[in-house]
Structure 1
Amino acid sequence: MYAPFFGLEQPPFSIAPDPRLLFMSERHREALAHLLYGLQAGGGFVLLTGEVGTGKTTVCRCFLEQVPDSCSVAYIFNPRLTVVELLRSICDEFGVARPPAAHGLETVKDCIDPLNEFLLRAHAAGRTSVLVIDEAQNLAPEVLEQLRLLTNLETSEAKLLQIILIGQPELRALVAQPQLEQLAQRVIARYHLQALSRAETAQYVAHRLAVAGLRGPLPFDRRALALIHTLSGGVPRRINVLCDRALLGAYSRGEREVRPATLRRAAREVFGGAHRVAPARPAWRAVGAGALAGAALVAALGWGLGWRVPGGTGQQTAAAIGSPKASAAAASAVSAAAPDAGAPAGKGQEDGAPPPSALAQWLAAQPEAGAGEAAGWGQLARAWQASVPPDAADICAALARSDLRCWRTRRSSLAQLRQLDRPALLTLQPPGAGSVVRVLALLALDGEQALLAGAGGARLSVPLAELTPLWQGGLATLWRAPAGWPASGTPPAGSAAAIWLEQQLARLQGSKAPTNRPRAGRRNADSGEADPSARVRRFQSEQGLTPDGQAGPLTLMLLNRAAGVAEPRLSQRGG
């Protein structure tokens, strides 16, 4: 609503995990360093805690994207599980097959034995196994004790499993309980993620506005930025909601600059009476539960300017606009109500249950993860005009002969998927107890419709509102490296690949590419850039990546897209 008024190309303060808006403060980098340390720590627990909204998920996302290929990661995002359910989930995440057991009769040993065998094989192959549990403050004490016992899985020289627990401050108190003393003694590193400082809050706001397209002065002056920190406590999620509402208020008044009075009024709107320096967690639960769904309407009507909505009441307008959750529910209801041409008449309706959706039926007909993934790689390869030999033992190695490389992440998002804009494999968890994951190729995104491809070339167009609840972030895709690009790391100075990288970045950034690579620490007189990695960091910041100066797969994929390199795209439906 207010974005064009302030010269913005997109809303700058969305609370969705958009990778383009990523901001890593010094505290976030320290937290990330602790998690990365856990990869080489040789067993035990690593704890990352922080208040709601301080960026634990941001740090976890960065960590999962930097995990090396030699590391196997199991990620548990819903830890409200029994001991057996947790062990079953860990086995599923690692892809460990378990012997079938009668429902309700599966024991801890049924999971521990095959898991131990898997960890031993991984260790023998030089692989590290890491278990990451998010929202770990919800773990029951008996489940934590079982996790401690998992760290007993070891060889004579090394532990087989590293465990990382991420949660709210209650996790520290939970681990400190006397009955968990043995677990507490195995914590090898812990970090509590604090809120942003006043200076970091100002940097955060400026960064978000710049990524959103702001080219002129900030709509917040120095006094307003200081007040944002005071009102939000420096908690990024609270900053987002406060600034979003304040910009909407300024827009409704026709003001190009957000005044302190507007900020205070916005704080009362979104935080109620809880806008203190310390994070007010109950108020946040209220905001997360429903206030954001109608933020634009409620805020626009709540500024007390005497506005009237033509053609009906506020309630009618809200019903017409709808919330994202309402839209998703409506799409699901339409899908459930649609007749199923492939099912016998009356099937599933005798007991009052709706017939399964077309997506659920289609997923049930697809092979399980292993065979489905192989078929999916074949679909992606065809999009790149390549092929996978039917007897290929290592699909990614086979595709490397066509100069294609595989890239995987366990924690992607719809925003990142749209940003990468390339066909990908999605790991989907079909609804229903005991359902088995499926890996399908996503070939196109046309607005709010997704085109999936399965085994045998079967395709299905499905609304995103039906697809996204089944996708927990597992993603894999292909990318083509420039000629001469090394298998790992960045190209050596002066190589053709290094020169290509500098030329592409210089063209995108509107500066002159150096003909000879400058020595480290010297500024190139023509380009104005110091070290070539400065160009990479600048591009990464503009794209919302962690600005580490290393041109990895994500950086190169986004660079090719920005440079207009002809590659398969999700936004252009293929045949």
Structure 2
Amino acid sequence: MYLSYYGLNEHPFSISPDPNFLYLSDIHREGLANLTYGIAQRKGFVLITGDVGTGKTTLIYALLAQVPQKVRVAFISSPTLTREEFFYLLADAYKLGAIEHKAHFLVRFTQFLEKAYGRDENVVLIVDEAHSLTLELLEEIRLLSNLENYSYKLVNIILVGQPELNDKLSGPEMRPLTQRITLKYHLSSMTFNDTAKYIETRLIRSGAKDIGIFTESAIQSLYEYAGGIPRLTNIFADHALLTGYVRGLKRIDNRVIEECAAELGLSGSKEEKDKDCTRIPPYLRYRGLIKAVLIICISLGLLVLWWDVLMNEGILTSSIYNIFDEDNPMAGHELTVNGLE
């Protein structure tokens, strides 16, 4: 709808993992390097985690786009399977033919791996959304990694999932699997600079002649709302372009992003933050001030106590009675230390 208005050829902020719009931040570039290294060096198990929308699946597609022909890949993106369904998908992906049961699959799969190794082919199994795997399937996957020769793993396994996968793997029953993981990497969110470059890159690749559609204040506001998460960034930016088109705006500023946030039902505006502050109990809002007052009161009390002790012990006395001595007008300014004369 807004493509011709902004001079675009394609939708720049689709949430589909289109490799043509791939932007690799430093974080994603490092994650891709870990995946590439794990496959090339036949490291066995590789674990990639990241929060929802941080670009895990996009990273997998970037990997698939650059793997050489001698890499045989099976990619499972829906791991909520029974054991039989899992083996069926693997047999189909590696073209093993019809299988009747697990033992039949293992025979065919072992033969396939040995032939692949003889042809210097690298066999890779990638499981996306691995946090959804049952413990039973995780154990089956671990057993597949036992297929190896004296120098290399015959199958490399990449598990990709949300941080809950770490919790699932932390159980004592998963120790045999976790001990086989040789590479681990966590995808964090993008920085503000990465977000700005991400938006610019996608606008350019969609054919934009004007890459300043989003003002700096808009990008700052968008970053604060999306938290540097690529998927949320796409949702906000796409909604902002639609809003700008409807309102006849050639520039998207922070006010448009604020409006989009309200329409998308996301909190975080200044007004809502102020309302949140009024709901905080007074003793929490002013605890810093209360603490400072208490410290001052305690310090004054200790000072008075210290002065009283000095006076009572006779260590320090003042010639206070001489203040009104008319014959000695300077006496009021003298201090003597008893016992030292």
- Same fold at TM > 0.5: yes
Highest CA radius of gyration, 1 or 2?
2
1:196 aligns with 2:177: no
In the aligned structure 2, how far is the partner of 1:63 from the partner of 1:258?
A: 34
Partner of 1:66: 66
In the aligned structure 2, how far is the partner of 1:16 from the partner of 1:122?
A: 33
Report deviation, 1:132. 0.8
Are the counterparts in 2 of residues 98 and 114 from structure 1 also a CA contact under 8 Å? no
Are the counterparts in 1 of residues 19 and 62 from structure 2 also a CA contact under 8 Å? no
User: Which structure carries more helix by proportion?
Assistant: 2
In structure 2, relative to structure 1, the CA distance for the partners of 1:118 and 1:28 (3 Å cut) is: same
Q: 1:147 is matched with which residue: 141, 144, 169?
A: 141
In the aligned structure 2, how far is the partner of 1:126 from the partner of 1:212?
A: 40
Are the counterparts in 1 of residues 2 and 245 from structure 2 also a CA contact under 8 Å? yes
1:243 aligns with 2:213: no
Report deviation, 1:7. 2.5
Partner of 2:130: 136
1:95 aligns with 2:95: yes
In the aligned structure 2, how far is the partner of 1:30 from the partner of 1:112?
A: 35
Partner of 1:86: 86
1:52 aligns with 2:48: no
Report deviation, 1:259. 2.4
Are the counterparts in 2 of residues 43 and 151 from structure 1 also a CA contact under 8 Å? no
In the aligned structure 1, how far is the partner of 2:176 from the partner of 2:169?
A: 9
Partner of 1:31: 31
Report deviation, 1:264. 1.0
1:264 aligns with 2:258: yes
Q: 2:156 is matched with which residue: 162, 168, 172?
A: 162
The amino acid that maps onto 2:242 is L
In structure 2, relative to structure 1, the CA distance for the partners of 1:113 and 1:217 (3 Å cut) is: closer
Q: 1:179 is matched with which residue: 169, 173, 176?
A: 173
Report deviation, 1:61. 0.8
Indicate the structure whose relative CO is greater, using CA pairs within 8 Å and at least 6 residues apart. 2
Are the counterparts in 2 of residues 31 and 193 from structure 1 also a CA contact under 8 Å? yes
Partner of 2:10: 10
In structure 2, relative to structure 1, the CA distance for the partners of 1:71 and 1:19 (3 Å cut) is: closer
Partner of 1:433: none
**SS state at 2:186 partner:** strand
Report deviation, 1:33. 0.7
User: Which residues in structure 2 correspond to 1:474-553 (within 5 Å)?
Assistant: none
Partner of 2:333: none
The amino acid that maps onto 2:139 is E
In the aligned structure 1, how far is the partner of 2:8 from the partner of 2:63?
A: 30
In the aligned structure 2, how far is the partner of 1:142 from the partner of 1:17?
A: 30
The amino acid that maps onto 1:38 is G
1:255 aligns with 2:249: yes
| C-alpha distance after superposition, 1:496-515 (max 9, x if no partner) | xxxxxxxxxxxxxxxxxxxx
Superposition CA RMSD, Å: 1.8
| C-alpha distance after superposition, 1:142-168 (max 9, x if no partner) | 110111111111222322111011112
In the aligned structure 2, how far is the partner of 1:212 from the partner of 1:225?
A: 18
In the aligned structure 2, how far is the partner of 1:188 from the partner of 1:40?
A: 13
In the aligned structure 1, how far is the partner of 2:205 from the partner of 2:67?
A: 26
In structure 2, relative to structure 1, the CA distance for the partners of 1:218 and 1:34 (3 Å cut) is: same
**SS state at 2:5 partner:** helix
Report deviation, 1:11. 2.4
Report deviation, 1:18. 3.0
In the aligned structure 1, how far is the partner of 2:164 from the partner of 2:20?
A: 31
Report deviation, 1:5. 2.2
In structure 2, relative to structure 1, the CA distance for the partners of 1:144 and 1:275 (3 Å cut) is: farther
Are the counterparts in 2 of residues 47 and 191 from structure 1 also a CA contact under 8 Å? yes
In the aligned structure 1, how far is the partner of 2:115 from the partner of 2:207?
A: 50
Partner of 1:231: 225
In structure 2, relative to structure 1, the CA distance for the partners of 1:254 and 1:97 (3 Å cut) is: closer
In the aligned structure 2, how far is the partner of 1:139 from the partner of 1:274?
A: 33
Report deviation, 1:187. 0.6
The amino acid that maps onto 1:186 is R
The amino acid that maps onto 2:122 is T
User: Which residues in structure 2 correspond to 1:399-418 (within 5 Å)?
Assistant: none
In the aligned structure 2, how far is the partner of 1:17 from the partner of 1:141?
A: 29
Partner of 1:216: 210
The amino acid that maps onto 2:118 is A
